[in-house]
Amino acid sequence: MQVRADALDAHLDKSLAPLYVISSDEQLLLLEAADRIRAKARAVGFSEREVLIAERYFKWGELQSVQQSMSLFGDRKLIELRIPNGKPGKEGGQALQDYAAACVGSEAGDTLTMITLPKLDSATQKSAWVTALQRHAVYVEIPNIERQQLAPWIGQRLAAQGQSADKHALEFMVDRVEGNLLAAHQEIRKLSLLYPDGRLSLDQIQDAVLNVARYDVFKLSEAMLAGDVSRVTRMLDGLKGEGEALPLVLWA
């Protein structure tokens, strides 16, 4: 079952499923979604937590062993499986299919499993193991926050901490934090420490917010086609500062 990230809280308020999957390239949003699942699990008695990281030499039998092993004190267990590259391989893919099928049920029992993945390419999304996870798990796919969505996103985050800013101030922040959502979150939190609740001025934001933008070389052509000269200039300066190869910039 697929659930939108903004609907996850409503889902968790009803019940816990035995298996969750979170897929995203936005590390901040992935971490926040995972934290919400962890918090709900703790609240209903999952006091034990075991983390598995499926890297190159990971033994997939460990996943089944951890699920079947009994806690020394009979505690309910949260199992976290992290697949950093999103490519479990043939053995891992079969193990995930079998695991997903074994987790079928309306609610979590003594074990709750959460799998985290990066954003998957279209070919991987059609694979049997992903299809099995989407069928048997609560599957939360969190899209990237694109530039045009960033100002409203910043505005919502400011509102959540009792602050606001006008359009020009938000656009200034977008220019400073584009492509670096985790750092954007830190800059927004910093504003809550520096200034009281209420409307923030452009001067306050200019004084406080660092330039932490990270640019995608493949979006350079979009800015050029849009005729956004100031953004193209910022992107070129930023890519140069990040050491991006000139041939790649020219090719983009």
* 12 plus 97 within the same structural domain: yes
Confidence of residue 228 (pLDDT cuts 50, 70, 90): confident
Q: Are 95 and 152 found together in one domain?
A: no
Mean pLDDT of all residues in 197-210: 94
Phi-psi region of 161 (alpha: psi -120 to 50; beta: other; left: phi over 0): alpha
Q: Is 60 exposed, middle or buried (0-12, 13-18, 19+ CB in 10 A)?
A: buried
The dihedral sign for the CA sequence 198, 201, 207, 211: positive
Residue 230's pLDDT band, with cuts at 50, 70 and 90, is confident
pLDDT at 245: 47
Give the pLDDT of residue 214.
61
Residues 72 and 176 reside in one and the same domain: no
Task: Tell me: do 129 and 176 sit in the same domain.
Answer: no
- CATH code, domain with 56: 3.40.50.300
Looking at residue 36, its pLDDT comes to 97
Q: What is the DSSP letter of 71?
A: P
With cut-offs at 50, 70 and 90, classify the pLDDT of residue 195: very high
Task: Clarify whether residues 81 and 133 are in a common domain.
Answer: yes
Residue partners of 207: CB distance under 8 A and separation at least 6: none
Does one domain contain both 120 and 98? yes
Is 131 in the same domain as 9? yes
Question: In this structure, are 22 and 118 located in the same domain?
Answer: yes
Q: How do the residues of the chain divide into helix, strand and coil, expressed in percent and rounded to 5?
A: 55, 15, 30
Range of the domain at 164: 147-251
Nearest to 186, CA basis, from 164, 208, 216: 208
- 137-183 per-position pLDDT tens digit: 999 999 999 989 999 999 999 999 999 999 999 999 999 999 899 99
Instruction: Report the DSSP pairing between strands 111-117 and 138-141.
Output: unpaired
Interval 214-219 mean pLDDT: 61
Residue 151: both structure tokens together: 């100002």
Q: What is the pLDDT of residues 61-109, one digit of tens each?
A: 999 888 877 655 668 899 999 999 999 999 999 999 999 998 876 566 8
Amino acid letter, 34: A
Supply the CATH number for residue 219's domain: 1.10.8.60
Amino acid letter, residue 134: Q
Question: Model pTM?
Answer: 0.81
Same-domain check for residues 10 and 93 = yes
